[in-house]
Amino acid sequence: MSTEVVVAKPALKAFAAPGFRHTRWFLLAYYLLFAIWGVRSAWPTVPSRLDIMVPLALYAIASCWVIVDDRARGRAIPLLSQQWFFLAAGLLVPVYVIWSRGWRGVGYVALHSVLGYLLATVCMNTVALFFHLFVVGLDAKMVNEAMHRTLA
């Protein structure tokens, strides 16, 4: 009787990539920050420290992700160049994703940009709706009438 060890092959090569775990954590933090930004945007007239902290946190996690991802892929961004990924993250991070993943990178950048802003918009409108329904005290009849007026 022989004992054989069978190793299951992953269904998708992307899940077997060496740096996939750090990408999942980055995306979790990315979408969490967009949700926080959306909740904060429900009150745009009230000044808040989150107006500065959320974009800075997005730049920080995006630049850290680029550095970790490049090391996981067997390359390394030179130490003197790493600071530029924080200072110009809005431009350099999408360029890096497109450069490292080819044409799939264009889709990744577009997909996660749209989903991030969509999540922020949904969070903003949901928080504003619940605030007006439960704190201000609008009843369902007033909301229904307002919706009919805007649709007409």
Q: What is the pTM of this model?
A: 0.72
Residue 9 has pLDDT above 50, yes or no: no
Query: How far apart, in whole angstroms, are the C-alpha atoms of residue 50 and residue 80?
Result: 30
Q: How confident is the model at residue 5 (pLDDT cuts 50, 70, 90)?
A: low
- Mean pLDDT score, 89-97: 91
- CA dist., res. 99 & res. 105, Å (int): 7
Q: At what angle do helices 89-101 and 50-72 cross, to 10 degrees?
A: 30
The overall average pLDDT reported for the chain is 81
* Contact partners, residue 98, CB within 8 Å, separation at least 6: 105, 106, 109
Confidence of residue 11 (pLDDT cuts 50, 70, 90): very low
- Residue 36 predicted with pLDDT over 50: yes
pLDDT at 15: 39
| Mean pLDDT, rounded, for 56-73 | 89
The answer to whether residues 122 and 38 touch, using CB atoms and an 8 Å cutoff, is: yes
Q: 139 Cβ partners below 8 Å, 6+ apart?
A: none
- Dump pLDDT digits (tens) for 102-116: 999 999 999 999 999
For residues 12 and 46, the model is more confident at 46
- 122-148 per-position pLDDT tens digit: 999 888 888 777 766 666 666 677 667
Model pLDDT, residue 8: 45
Work out the burial of residue 86: count CB atoms within 10 Å of its CB; fewer than 13 is exposed, 13-18 middle, 19 or more buried: middle
Residue 53 has pLDDT above 90, yes or no: yes
pLDDT for 23 equals: 82
Widest CA span in the chain: 78
DSSP 1-33: ------PPPPSSHHHHSTTHHHHHHHHHHHHHH
